[in-house]
Amino acid sequence: MFHGKRVAVVMPAYNAATTLERSCAEIPSDIVDEVLLVDDASSDETVSVAKKLGLRVLVHPENRGYGANQKTCYAEALRLGADVVVMLHPDYQYTPKLIAAMTAMIVDGPYEVVIGSRILGGTTRAGGMPFYKYVSNRFLTAVQNLLSGSKLSEFHTGYRAFSRDVLVSLSLAENSDDFVFDNQMLAQILVAGHPVGEVSCPTAYFEEASSISFSRSVRYGLGVLRVALQTFLQKRGLASYTYFDAAGAKLDGGGAPHSDANGAG
């Protein structure tokens, strides 16, 4: 616990067997009460490695997508009574050493959401981010800030922490099951007016780290622009989109995954 608040780390996983142990080794066990891994039908040994590490494991019987994985992550973390939920990718692209700082910024205030920004520290390219990804990240973030009226350094990080109150207030079940889920969720948070903080987060790109292909990156970029436009229209009352409705849909993970917590259901 951290200052009396229960902290859960959730890991949306797909073929993360080679990097999972490194990621878990740096999770601060003195403040984290629960580490939950949701496996999206991996074809490698992700599940068996997670069990050996003593993680709570849920398994999607078939691949449902990155967004669907997160829906299961958050639904289960809330069911377990978490007051703060930190989403950490198990591919060791983001350092788990920032979990304590991100948690403190929520528990002690003044934020309800904290994101680990790869841009703030100015070391993104040195960490190995491909040039086209860096350029697209900066362009899309600029457009999103303009249309949403925010001033975030990055919208595309996969390292995020949320208060329980935020998670139960959002219509996450209405969001995409694909990669654009992250942007829809952040758009929901901004439209609702939840305060968002940022911490500088070094990142590492290497062979085992997960990364989507160029074609999927293009599709993701188009989806981001669509969400940015919808955010603009929603904030100005020019249109209404159901996923912006507060608590408009029950977050149940989109279906019941197999449960296997340390070998027990």
Show the domains of the chain with their CATH numbers: 7-246 (3.90.550.10)
Residue 147 has pLDDT above 50, yes or no: yes
Q: Write the DSSP string, 127-179.
A: TT--HHHHHHHHHHHHHHHHHHT---S-S--S-EEEEHHHHHHS-GGGS-SST
Residue with tokens 């929520």: 106
Which helix (DSSP H) or strand (DSSP E) does residue 223 occupy? Answer: helix 214-235
* pTM as predicted: 0.90
User: Could you read off the pLDDT of 25-82 as tens digits, one per residue?
Assistant: 999 999 999 999 999 999 999 999 999 999 999 999 999 999 999 999 999 999 999 9
Return the SS3 of 186.
helix
The pLDDT assigned to 248 comes to 47
Q: Assess whether pLDDT exceeds 50 at residue 263.
A: no
